[in-house]
Amino acid sequence: MVTFLVCLSILIGGYFIYGTYVDRMVGVNPDKETPAVKLQDDVDYVPMPWWKVFLIQFLNIAGTGPIFGAISGALFGPVAFLWITFGTIFAGAVHDYLSGVISMKHDGMSVSELVGIYLGDHMKMIMRVFSVILLILVGTVFVSSPAGLLASMTGQGLVFWTVIIILYYILATILPVDKIVGKIYPLFGAALLLMAIGLCGAMFINHFNGTRPMVEMTLENLHPEKLSVFPFLFVTIACGALSGFHATQSPMMARCVSNERESKKVFYGAMVVEGIVALVWCAVSLSFFGDTAHLNQALVESGGQSGVVNIISTGLLGKVGAVLALLGVVACPITSGDTAFRSARLTIADAFSIKQDHVAKRFYIAIPLFVICIILTQFDFNIIWRYFAWSNQTLATICLWTSTVYLLKNKRNYWITLIPATFMTFICTSYILQAKEGLRLSGTFSNGVGILAAIILFSWFMRRVMKGKLEQEVPCQAKNLLGE
């Protein structure tokens, strides 16, 4: 209990202390027109109140991520609390904040175009393909999994629910952002917050009072399958600490922020709240089942994280919990899926300079995406989806390096992103070398190579910084963005 409360306090304090430092250091300009105001088209560029943008951003980046990832991460034991807490403050929230702010400075530009400006045209081409594939995969899986759950719960066929969800996705992708996303998402976002608050309260009443002892705080790896903390924990818990998927979502909301002074609340704040949700679910999972062995048994017997969500929610909150469980395992994935396709549409539109003011142009881009989605729903995603975890963190690493060059260019403290970028370079390299979906090499060798890769990239960066070459190489459109 003490560990949970300390980590919760650090997360909240991190928003007010480190979040304020980042906001002041980056130097947003409240007098400059944001893309939402300057380029308002009532489709994608739509000014909204900060609280609405915050709730939409929170649900966009959350979905089931801080729930499912935290449950799986809890298998490592209380050490997962540390990654959620410090990963959120020093990596995830900084990543989300800068991806949103940099996008605003470039008229709401998508992440692949931003990467191109700061890391070069070759990286831009790679990121265009990489991010669109990633978004289609996210969207497709979040068609299949909710459709399967709804089919099992209602008795209606899988095809029926697949068609319904895809039709909804098409509408959410094509219609102006304030018509569906702007109206439904704040409600779902608030419900997800209430779910976490309710479970947290029930956890204290029922399971932190000594009736079911929770494992004591320890840095020991308690994973039943003995997966190593480095690098697996840092990939398993993604959306609750650091996630590259967020960099595809922040530019979408960068087109809706009315004033740059709202950046901290919308981007840094949404990530901190997601970290809190992940922390609650990690603690609840350990508290409810008592230890990692029983949690792992529940995951196996109930069919995965969705089953555990249902067991915990109904066990702690009764019928209300059942409704919240339905929200968590059905509604939240759908709200991640539709914005994934919307982000894919915007990424393609930016890449080919296709204005999105007419609905026909939006259909022109969106329909092929959904044709691919329909085809992919016929395949088993169990193997393919495993690559998402690594791809997601690799995207986050690229965005952190992009932010580092951005800060360097604007003569700001680039260490706030350089340190997490270097660390995640080690994690991603090590993971793909030893994971089942990777090369399956030994952990010792893989971690060694990962450390070496991080050192080489860090040294290369610092050497070019010392010689002033990186500032010379960044294109002119990246200059003086913080000195307006």
CATH of 2-218+225-380, one of 1.20.1740.10, 3.40.50.300, 1.10.645.10, 1.10.3720.10: 1.20.1740.10
pTM, rounded to two decimals: 0.92
Residue 332 Cα distances to 187, 266, 306, 389, 481, angstroms? 11, 19, 12, 18, 36
pLDDT in tens, the chain (484 residues): 788 899 999 999 999 999 999 999 998 899 999 999 999 999 999 999 999 999 999 988 987 789 889 999 999 999 999 999 999 999 999 999 999 999 999 999 999 999 999 999 999 999 999 899 889 988 887 887 788 778 877 888 888 999 999 999 999 999 999 888 888 888 888 888 888 888 888 887 775 544 455 566 778 999 999 899 999 999 999 989 999 999 999 999 999 999 999 999 999 999 999 999 999 999 999 988 988 999 999 999 988 888 888 888 888 888 887 787 777 777 788 888 889 999 999 999 999 999 998 999 999 999 999 999 888 887 765 556 667 788 899 999 999 999 999 999 999 999 999 999 999 999 999 999 999 888 999 999 999 999 999 999 999 999 988 877 666 666 555 545 544 4
The partner residues of 257 in beta bridges, in order of sequence, read 48
Residues 184, 52 contacting (CB under 8 angstroms):
no
Domain boundaries, the chain: 2-218+225-380
